[in-house]
């Protein structure tokens, strides 16, 4: 299908947005992008249009914990106990509904691809479902219904901690051996809007030898891992291997793959050098929610590491909030402003390469036709000059300002209305039951 859109403003990768941009779309791809052209008969998109956002790291089911984990003092580990109690309750039917609603919330916020870091593979006590990939296929079906592309990052999770067996909940995550994991995940059926990637949960969940085996198997897909989210993990890893988590991934050959280190909050200068050429997926809203600490995004960029962004625990689903978190956390740490440019923040937000979609994340001919349009008449953004639009949307915009979202040439959100169901009502009906 052919379409012609006129965007009042569109960010084409420069320092400021271009004005009056006419964009041709055919078969889900951009065919032409022409700034400074009169709209004529084209469909009109007032406001600022951006490329689609990539959610580099998500655990969809954590969305149900929203507002339910803030009553007591605690830390990452006490939060994890609450998360495990929820994980224990999920069956494929509930997981489908929860993931579909969560992915829908992402589409409404402007995300056009999600990287779902998936480890809840099996039934109670670790018994496989009739289809051993029932849960992975459920997530892919949920993404399809929600209208978002997915990279299913199927996760190898073999141990409960360093030299510790999986506990009763974690047994649902495990496949016994790396070969068992790879046999199962090799049978996942992808489709047009879905891809399969691989993940190692962390140095806690796989030994160095096991990570090396994973890296030897996955030569043609993204490979993600949680790295140094917690100081405790660093300390335990140093005690076990006399090496940092990053160094263990380096020695295992993982960094020679299409590697993304998720969080990478507590790194040494040596770790940052090792990660040159890899991607770090920062998850600012989750890292602040879980009291993880603040990474060093500026130092990573200076070292030649790419940055992407993820909503991770989905405590908040708002790409602008993630993008400004990158810079604002740096400001609190360094007492200096302007550590990252707005361009660097938006590049991280739209980086689809981390998820294996090299042909998305830019408004240019040949790329996937993803567009996120933001309303500049909203009370938050009104009064902004064209020169300040990018900074305004990054530092003051919200997911609620997203009016239109196009994924692969198809409008999923139009004038603020999402076309695939009442998402708020679905959460209202479903989530309390998961805690009943
Ligand atoms: Zn995670």
Strands (DSSP E) along 62-148, which ranges? 111-118
Digit-coded pLDDT (tens) for 259-275: 999 999 999 999 999 99
**Cβ-contact 323, 310 below 8 angstroms:** no
Region of 262 (left: φ > 0; alpha: ψ -120 to 50; beta: rest) is beta
**Cβ-contact 83, 403 below 8 angstroms:** no
**Cβ-contact 150, 114 below 8 angstroms:** yes
**Cβ-contact 173, 157 below 8 angstroms:** yes
| The predicted structure's pLDDT at residue 115 | 98
Confidence at 425, pLDDT banded by 50, 70, 90: very high
Residues 6+ apart with CB under 8 A from 10: 17, 18, 21, 23, 33, 35, 48, 49, 50, 363
| The predicted structure's pLDDT at residue 78 | 86
Digit-coded pLDDT (tens) for 225-252: 999 999 999 999 999 999 999 999 999 9
Q: What is the mean pLDDT of residues 106-120?
A: 98
Digit-coded pLDDT (tens) for 6-41: 999 999 999 999 999 999 999 999 999 999 999 999
323 backbone dihedrals φ, ψ, rounded to 5°: -65, -40
Cα of 77 to ligand 1 centre, how many Å? Answer: 13
| The predicted structure's pLDDT at residue 384 | 95
- Tell me the β-bridge partners of 118: 154
Residues whose beta carbons lie less than 5 angstroms from ion ligand 1: 312
Cα of 227 to ligand 1 centre, how many Å? Answer: 10
Digit-coded pLDDT (tens) for 40-78: 999 999 999 999 999 999 999 999 999 998 888 888 888
**Cβ-contact 307, 300 below 8 angstroms:** yes
Cα of 8 to ligand 1 centre, how many Å? Answer: 37
Instruction: Kindly list the catalytic residues.
Output: 263, 312
| The predicted structure's pLDDT at residue 77 | 86
């Amino acid at each position: 299908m052919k379409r012609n859109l006129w965007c009042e403003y569109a960010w084409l990768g420069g320092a400021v947005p271009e004005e009056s941009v006419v964009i041709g779309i055919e078969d889900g791809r951009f065919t032409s992008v022409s700034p400074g052209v009169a709209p004529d008969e084209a469909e009109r998109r007032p406001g600022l249009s951006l490329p689609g956002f990539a959610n580099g790291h998500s655990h969809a089911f954590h969305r149900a914990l929203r507002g339910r984990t803030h009553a007591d003092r605690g830390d990452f580990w006490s939060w994890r106990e609450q998360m495990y109690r929820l994980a224990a309750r999920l069956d494929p039917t509930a997981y489908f509904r929860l993931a579909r609603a969560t992915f829908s919330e992402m589409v409404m916020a402007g995300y056009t691809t999600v990287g779902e870091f998936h480890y809840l593979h099996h039934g109670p006590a670790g018994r496989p479902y009739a289809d051993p990939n029932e849960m992975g296929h459920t997530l892919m079906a949920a993404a399809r219904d929600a209208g978002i592309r997915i990279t299913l990052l199927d996760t190898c999770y073999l141990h409960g901690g360093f030299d510790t067996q999986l506990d009763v909940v974690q047994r649902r995550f495990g496949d016994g051996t790396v070969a068992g994991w790879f046999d199962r995940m090799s049978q996942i059926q992808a489709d047009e809007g879905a891809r399969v990637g691989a993940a190692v949960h962390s140095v806690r969940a796989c030994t160095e030898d096991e990570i090396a085996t994973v890296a030897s198997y996955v030569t043609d897909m993204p490979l993600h891992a949680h790295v140094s989210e917690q100081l405790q993990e660093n300390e335990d890893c140093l005690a076990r291997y006399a090496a940092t988590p990053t160094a263990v991934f380096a020695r295992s050959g993982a960094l020679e793959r299409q590697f993304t280190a998720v969080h990478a909050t507590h790194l040494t200068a040596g770790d940052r050098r090792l990660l040159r050429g890899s991607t770090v997926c920062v998850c600012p809203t989750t890292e602040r929610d879980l009291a993880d600490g603040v990474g060093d995004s500026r130092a990573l960029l200076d070292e030649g590491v790419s940055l992407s962004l993820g909503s991770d625990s989905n405590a908040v689903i708002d790409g602008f909030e993630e993008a400004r978190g990158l810079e604002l956390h740096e400001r609190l740490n360094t007492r200096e402003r302007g550590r990252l440019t707005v361009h660097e923040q938006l590049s991280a937000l739209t980086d689809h390469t981390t998820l294996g979609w090299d042909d998305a994340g830019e408004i240019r001919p040949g790329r996937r036709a993803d567009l996120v349009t933001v309303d500049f008449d909203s009370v938050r953004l009104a009064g902004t000059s064209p020169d300040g639009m990018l900074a305004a949307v990054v530092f003051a915009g919200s997911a609620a300002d997203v009016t239109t979202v196009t994924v692969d040439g198809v409008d999923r959100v139009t004038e603020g209305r999402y076309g695939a169901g009442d998402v708020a009502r679905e959460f209202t009906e479903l989530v309390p039951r998961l805690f009943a």
